[in-house]
Amino acid sequence: MEKLRIMSVFGTRPEAIKMAPLVRELAGRADIASLCCVTAQHRQMLDSVLEVFSLTPDRDLDIMTPRQTLSTITAKCLTGMDAAVEELQPDMILVHGDTSTTFAGALSAFYHKVPVGHVEAGLRTYDKYSPYPEEMNRKLVTAIADLYFCPTENNRQNLLREGVTEGLFVTGNTVIDALQTTVRKDYVFAADSLNRLPWDSKKIVLVTCHRRENYGQPMEDIMTALADIARTHRDVELVYPVHLSPVVQECARRNLGDIENVHLIAPLAADEMHNLMARCYLALTDSGGLQEEAPALGKPVLVLRRETERPEAVEAGTVKLAGVERDAIADMAHTLLTDSAAYQAMARAVNPYGDGRACRRIADAILWHFGRGDRPEDFRA
């Protein structure tokens, strides 16, 4: 029997981190030819992940431009995908999550009448503009997809309520699979500045912030809150690997650039980041991925957003929504930095997002779909 040609399409840092273990799992299956097409919606931040996970794409669309717009990303992905699909002739295309690459990848698959598997399906806030444009991207991909790999049962329920009744699998999130390959107790940072942080004498607080819906006043208020936290708590060091978006770079440098206990550093390679997270005291973030990773590592998270499509860790008590108002963020951080009972209540390792076997389930589900194996058991938290 001919091998199934399964083509994974991704383009940004988080998609790459979450798809890398799946590309590898597929490559290890005798019945599958694992193909990989990157749009390179992110360039440096994508290449860093490819290097950490030793992945060499079969096609690289190399679309990134400085200050790119949603329209240009989508248009360039669609055009580039035409040739990739025609040349690689996939039997199925896998897209991940909710970026512009995800949407364009799924739409291109549809134009070529190739079935689509959606990894990380069923996340919702039900607010069209928040996160923007991600909520709409994932809804549009739901309309196109044939197989839905939901990280949690809650995600599956979201899709059932929308009338999607076939092709649903609860797999866990592949980010937990990735994390299990990167985090090590004896890890030594490649960046000496991280080794030299005052780990024993200060609280190391990890910060990331990049979301488009926070551009403008919300991001100004978040940065001001971070400055307040750093100035009020001299026993704290804020470590902030700044996203390469020029909008974010400018806002972070203007508000935080001259504060002694704030370290604005370049984006970290995934293994550096995961090990930094494993050792930090607390994370302040608007990132989706960090909301999934930090709970697995037992680190409390304050989410710098008004809502989240990841309620599972909020329900488990290890993640709290801090919003985007200056005083609320500073107050919630103050509590976790000064009240050890409040801190301990949140600093528990929980695994609502996966058990490290998501990629195995997804590969099994694909083979089952094509009549070449058994249906996998769903992930249960």
**Residue from 76, 156, 210, 369 that binds ligand UD1 (CB under 6 A)?**
210
The residue among 373, 359, 2 whose CA lies nearest residue 181 is 359
Q: Output the 3-class SS for 211-227.
A: CHHHCCHHHHHHHHHHH
Residues 6+ apart with CB under 8 A from 175: 17, 18, 289, 292, 293, 353, 354
The residue among 82, 35, 83, 26 whose CA lies nearest residue 56 is 35
CB of 164 to ligand UD1, least distance (A): 22
The beta strands (E) that lie in 39-187 are given as: 59-60, 92-96, 116-119, 147-150, 168-170
Q: Pick the catalytic residue: 112, 212, 231, 326?
A: 212
Task: Name which of 45 and 337 has its Cβ closer to ligand UD1.
Answer: 45
Mark the segment that binds ligand UDP (CB under 6 A) among 1-9, 12-20, 122-130, 344-352.
12-20
Is residue 287 part of the contact set for ligand UDP (CB under 6 A)? yes
Is residue 302 part of the contact set for ligand UDP (CB under 6 A)? no
**Residue from 99, 125, 152, 173 that binds ligand UD1 (CB under 6 A)?**
99
Is residue 245 part of the contact set for ligand UD1 (CB under 6 A)? yes
Q: How far apart are CA 365 and CA 122, in angstroms?
A: 17
Mark the segment that binds ligand UDP (CB under 6 A) among 79-87, 191-199, 270-278, 363-371.
270-278
Q: Please answer whether residues 252 and 240 qualify as being in contact, where contact means their C-beta atoms are separated by less than 8 angstroms.
A: yes
Which of ligand UD1, ligand UDP, none does residue 173 bind to, with CB < 5 to 8 Å depending on kind?
Answer: none
Q: Output the 3-class SS for 137-168.
A: HHHHHHHHCCEEEECCHHHHHHHHHCCCCCCE
Is residue 64 part of the contact set for ligand UDP (CB under 6 A)? no
Task: Name which of 32 and 251 has its Cβ closer to ligand UDP.
Answer: 251
Q: How far apart are CA 100 and CA 108, in angstroms?
A: 12
Is residue 179 part of the contact set for ligand UD1 (CB under 6 A)? no
Active site residue 233: no
Report the alpha-carbon angle 202-206-211, nearest 5.
155
Is residue 294 part of the contact set for ligand UDP (CB under 6 A)? no
Active site residue 135: no
Q: Pick the catalytic residue: 15, 25, 60, 134?
A: 134
**Residue from 5, 24, 43, 139 that binds ligand UD1 (CB under 6 A)?**
43
Q: What are phi and psi of 364, to 5 degrees?
A: -60, -40
Q: Pick the catalytic residue: 120, 177, 221, 312?
A: 120
**Residue from 60, 135, 237, 293 that binds ligand UDP (CB under 6 A)?**
293
Binding mask 202-231 for ligand UDP (x = CB under 6 A): ------x-x---------------------
**Residue from 268, 324, 329, 332 that binds ligand UDP (CB under 6 A)?**
268
Q: How far apart are CA 47 and CA 51, in angstroms?
A: 6
Q: How far apart are CA 23 and CA 336, in angstroms?
A: 39
Active site residue 243: yes
Task: Name which of 99 and 255 has its Cβ closer to ligand UD1.
Answer: 99
* Tokens encoding 336: 């976790």
| Active site (catalytic) residues | 98, 120, 134, 210, 212, 243
